[in-house]
Amino acid sequence: MSSTLRPPALVALSRRGAHHAAHLAQQWPGAELYLLQPWAAEWPGKAQRLEPPLRQHMARLFSQHNPVCFFCAVAVVVRLLAPHLQGKQKDPAVLAIDETARFVVPVLSGHLGGANAHALRIGRWLAALPVITTASDALDTLAVDLVGRELGWHIQASSLALTRTAACVVNGEPVAWVQSCGTQRWRITMPELPAHVTALADIRQADPRQHRALLWITHSTDVAAIEQRWPERLILYRPPREPGEPLAIGMGCDRGTPLTTLREALLEARHLYPFLWDQVTALATIDRKGDEVGLLQLADLFQLPLTLYPASRLAQMPVPTPSETVRRHMDTPSVAEAAALLAGEEADGELLLPKQCYRGREGKHVTLAIARGRPQSAMATTNPEKTAS
């Protein structure tokens, strides 16, 4: 999540690449456009001019931006970035987009740096094909270095243990999963464990004779004996003991919007306002969506009731982005923003993230807003106007 502290950089080396980079910059909040001469002159006031050769600017781009997206061939990107590589813990996400904007290729920091996730977003914006070669993503399986990221889990493992355990997962070898603490909200982005990853109720059930590696979510500091049994094949995940500032999420969606699209909208929102899944103490919408399967499934993954408000109550809330179209269909000018504020700490509070609109691959639309939420203890004593489970 630290990558959000540095703005994205879009770098183009040709006129055609500059055209696509400028188009992407219009859709990507905070993105900075860098164009080589003479193409920068064609976008005055929008692009920062780079004098060739480009390699003299690489150190600055790497230190000031994340991700860094180049509109050129992958081979060119590899040669440019090679002298600046420091390791996956430090390198920014780097992507290559061909000059016709047909393909988006994560080149560096696909997992930890988020290049793979950025490729999916850029692919939607440019109608381009993300070319993701990371094994766990290509196989749609568990990525051991990303487990619990949305929950703020800290990974404790050597580089060799990460490599060997990831290989076990990718190769379909038996792996043990033991969760001794923390919530089950990792299921929001990973609903089910792969078939060869076995969830065990107790660490004492983990047996090196049956499983090639161990993934253990724990607060325990007495792990020496376990480490000896699983040399360089153990990954410890440390959940935070405090969830952080509570948040309330208001959502609206088209009828029949699938869970996958609702999750994608949440991931998109996290790029704009970084938060952890465990911070969410309320998920709210209009009462007409009380039977919306996708929203009910999402609430179940958050282990929260779906808080519902009638249109008359939502319509009373002052919001920054009311919509007459929404009013015609739902009898209130706002669903997402008004629901977030009503479910939040103060009905007259400010939104932390105003309404964001997202369109899924299947064409369904989602709106989402975030407000400051009530602590879990307070949620237990309040009586929302209506809830669905």
pLDDT at 338 over 50: yes
| pLDDT confidence of residue 137 | 58
Give CA separation, 104 vs 39, 96, 132, in Å.
Answer: 22, 6, 8
pLDDT at 263 over 50: yes
Q: What are phi and psi of 278, to 5 degrees?
A: -70, -10
Give CA separation, 1 vs 113, 114, 262, 270, 275, in Å.
Answer: 9, 9, 21, 9, 9
Work out the average pLDDT over 354-376. 91
Residue pair 40/57 in contact (Cβ under 8 Å)? The answer is no
- pLDDT, one tens digit per residue, over 58-97 is 999 988 999 999 999 999 999 998 888 887 777 888 999 9
- pLDDT, one tens digit per residue, over 216-233 is 999 998 899 999 999 999
- pLDDT, one tens digit per residue, over 141-177 is 788 888 888 899 999 999 899 989 999 998 999 999 9
Residue pair 322/333 in contact (Cβ under 8 Å)? The answer is yes
The first and second tokens of residue 153, run together, are 């889990």
Domain-wise residue ranges, the chain: 2-133, 149-238, 247-388
| CA dist., res. 377 & res. 31, Å (int) | 39
| pLDDT confidence of residue 380 | 38
pLDDT at 280 over 90: yes
- pLDDT, one tens digit per residue, over 283-293 is 999 999 999 99
> Across-strand partners of 94?
68, 108
Pick the CATH number of 247-388 from 3.40.50.720, 3.90.1150.10, 3.30.420.180, 1.10.1510.10: 3.30.420.180
| CA dist., res. 357 & res. 366, Å (int) | 6
pLDDT at 1 over 60: no
Residue 85's closest CA among 68, 97, 72? 68
pLDDT at 53 over 60: yes
pLDDT at 101 over 80: yes
Q: What are phi and psi of 286, to 5 degrees?
A: -80, 150
Compute how many other C-beta atoms are within 10 angstroms of the C-beta atom of residue 17. Answer: 23
Residue pair 33/46 in contact (Cβ under 8 Å)? The answer is yes
- Using pLDDT thresholds of 50, 70 and 90, give the confidence band for residue 44: low
Q: Which CATH class is domain 2-133?
A: alpha beta
| CA dist., res. 236 & res. 247, Å (int) | 27
Q: What are phi and psi of 284, to 5 degrees?
A: -130, 155
